[in-house]
Chain A
Amino acid sequence: MTRAYRVTDSELNAYVDGELDVAATAEIEAWRSADPNNAARLAALCADKAALHDLYDEVLDEAVPAALQNVLNRPRVHPPAPTWLRIAAGVVVLLVGGAGGWGLRDWQAAEATVVATTATPVVQNGVREDYQAFAKRAIGAHVVYSAEVLHPVEVGIAKEAHLLGWLSKRLGTPVRVPDLAKRGFAVIGGRLLADQGKPAAQFMYEDQAGRRVTIYVRADQGQKTAFRLVGGTGASAFYWVDAPLAYALAGDLARDELLAISLDVYNALSL
């Protein structure tokens, strides 16, 4: 991709905020690679966003003060609305959700579609929250296994055919290990994990410096999504859905590098 590509501030922000679909994300990525100045500009945006979290995230770990607890624990005053009214209101929300949306992002459409085909009421954000929880489990698995010195993987890459055959069979869909040599990472091997009672696979990569990233996948027929970032203790992860698999790439790397690797994984596996 060598064409000159002019991006607007809004597009850069949308990229940083995970609002772009996969194709638009790839275009920004190409623009980013084209010039170190572009990369610096993006990195600065990411850093500024991260700084806000650095500044205020500690509030989340504080105990909720008694005064607020008291408000929350006060006996209920208003009876819940009748069931038929809740259902009617829910239907309206679904219709509005389905009609809304914005060209640059697939998320809203994906959510509305999934929600609309579900019989039971679902929190509007439920789909994203579900994948966020998936990504958090990927982070957990990353933190646990990437710290392993002796047994980081269950089956080494020396037995690649066995590894991939086994995990493909357990997940019920073919899985592959993308080549991340361009980013300096080589695959070590993989393991089978339980993801909320369903099989998931984790592939571990390592670079020259001993840094490790893991790809966490499970079978998933959900709507295709954009990349989204979730932070965790000890690592963060980008996650996305590209049926028949849902992916999370976890590592203790800068967001920019993590995203670059995620894009490589996506490109390698979707072509």
Chain B
Amino acid sequence: MDLRQDIAVETPRLRRYARALYRGDVAAADDLVQDALERALGRLHLFKPGSSMRAWLLTITRNVYVNDMRGRARRPLETNMDEDLDGAAFSHRAVQDDTLNVRDLNRALGQLVEDQREVVLLVGLEDLSYKETADVLGVPVGTVMSRLSRGRNHLRRLMDDAGQQPGAPSNPLRPTPLRPATLRKLT
């Protein structure tokens, strides 16, 4: 069993996760992946055979990311990421998007609190099971589920709001938002 090979296989997924964490910032995302890979390769002896390499690498990536965020707490990521994305990064994408505006989604992701964003991404993008996500984050499955619900509700509300702003492209196809009365108000 070649663990290095297993890590190489997972690397594109780590890059995707990191790219989403940094909302499209390629350089920051690959720096994160590089740090995570170095840490993983330096600790290969700690990998438990029989466990999921993907989950282990995502755990490391997430921990490196959290440390990085703490380090740059005074320098919020939101600054001009959106402008970058409006321009180059997604310019090749067709504009026929049928249900949501890609830019709105990316911007909305940036407005989620970290706890919710990471669950939304691990489950929704990396397709981890709830149990695997709970293991990556070191929280109970119930916590994963509640963060996921709140995160997704918040995300949808942010996108609905973005769609209603003056000048923003309206989308008649977007389903009427249905929000449970119990939805917690997040600020």
A-to-B contact residues, CB < 8 Å: 8-10, 13-14, 17, 19, 37, 40-41, 43-45, 47-57, 59-60, 62, 64-65, 67-68, 71-72, 74, 76-81, 86-87, 89-90, 92-94, 100-102, 105, 107-108, 115, 121-125
Please, how many angstroms separate the alpha-carbon atoms of A62 and B152 in the complex?
Answer: 28
Give chain B interface residues in 18-53, CB to chain A under 8 Å. Answer: 19-20, 30, 33-34, 37-38, 41-45, 48-53
Q: Which residues of A contact B175 (CB under 8 A)?
A: 40-41, 43-44, 47
**Min C-beta distance of A58 to chain B, whole Å:** 9
Contact A93 B50 (CB under 8 A): yes
B50 & A89 in contact (Cβ 8 Å cutoff): yes
Cβ 8 A contact of B130, one of A19, A41, A93, A94: A19
Given A55-B102, A77-B42, A62-B178 contact (CB < 8 Å): no
Cα A54 to Cα B130 with chains together (Å): 22
- Chain B, range 54-82, C-beta contacts under 8 Å to A: 54-55
Q: B129 contacts which of A13, A60, A107 (Cβ < 8 Å)? A: A107
Name the A residues within 8 Å of B130 (CB-CB): 14, 17, 19, 102, 105
Nearest B residue to A41 via CB reads B178
CB atoms of A76 and B4 under 8 A apart: yes
- Per DSSP, are chain B's interface residues mostly helix, strand or loop, or mixed? helix
CA distance A145 to B37 in the complex (A): 41
Chain A residues with Cβ below 8 Å from B30 are 65, 67-68
Contact call B153/A9, Cβ cutoff below 8 A? yes
Residues on B with C-beta less than 8 A from A86 are 49
Interface of A is mostly: helix
Are A52 and B152 in contact (CB-based, < 8 A)? no
Q: Whole-angstrom distance between the alpha carbons of A86 and B50 in the complex? A: 9
Known: A52-B124, A108-B129. 4 other contacts (CB 8 A): A9-B180, A56-B16, A79-B45, A125-B55
**A51 pairs with B105, CB closer than 8 A:** yes
A62 touches B15 (CB 8 A): yes
Chain B residues with CB below 8 A from A94, complex form: 50
A68 and B19 in contact, given A14-B130, A94-B50 (Cβ under 8 angstroms): no
Cα of A76 to Cα of B33 in the assembled complex, Å: 18
Does the CB pair B15–A59 fall under 8 Å?
yes
A44 (CB) vs chain B CBs: closest residue: B175
- Fill in one digit per residue for B121-154: 1 if any A CB lies within 8 Å of its CB, else 0: 1011100011100000000010001101100110
Can you list 28 A-B pairs, Cβ within 8 angstroms, ordered by A? A10-B146, A10-B149, A37-B178, A40-B175, A44-B178, A47-B175, A48-B100, A48-B105, A50-B99, A51-B102, A51-B105, A52-B20, A52-B124, A54-B97, A55-B105, A55-B106, A60-B15, A64-B12, A68-B33, A76-B41, A79-B45, A89-B50, A93-B49, A102-B130, A105-B129, A107-B129, A122-B50, A125-B54
Listed in ascending order, the chain B residues whose CB lies under 8 Å from chain A are 1, 3-4, 7-8, 11-13, 15-16, 19-20, 30, 33-34, 37-38, 41-45, 48-55, 90, 97, 99-100, 102, 105-106, 120-121, 123-125, 129-131, 141, 145-146, 148-149, 152-153, 155-156, 159, 175-178, 180, 182-183
A108 to B141, CA, bound (A): 12
Which of these, B1, B13, B180, contacts A60 with CB under 8 Å? B13
Closest to A124 in B: B52
Closest 5 CB pairs of A and B: A90-B50, A9-B149, A59-B16, A47-B99, A86-B49
Which one of B48, B120, B141, B145 lies within 8 Å of A90 (CB-CB)?
B48
Minimum C-beta distance from B47 to chain A (A): 9
Residues from chain A with a CB closer than 8 A to the CB of B180 are 9
B40 to chain A minimum Cβ distance, whole angstroms, is 9
Interface contact B51-A93, CB-CB below 8 Å: yes
Question: B49 near A78 (CB under 8 angstroms)?
Answer: no
Instruction: Name the distance in Å between A189's Cβ and chain B's nearest Cβ.
Output: 33
Distance between A238 CB and nearest chain B CB, rounded to angstroms? 14
On chain A, the residues within 8 Å of B159 by CB distance are 48
Instruction: Please indicate the chain A residues that have their CB under 8 angstroms from the CB of B149 in the complex.
Output: 8-10, 13
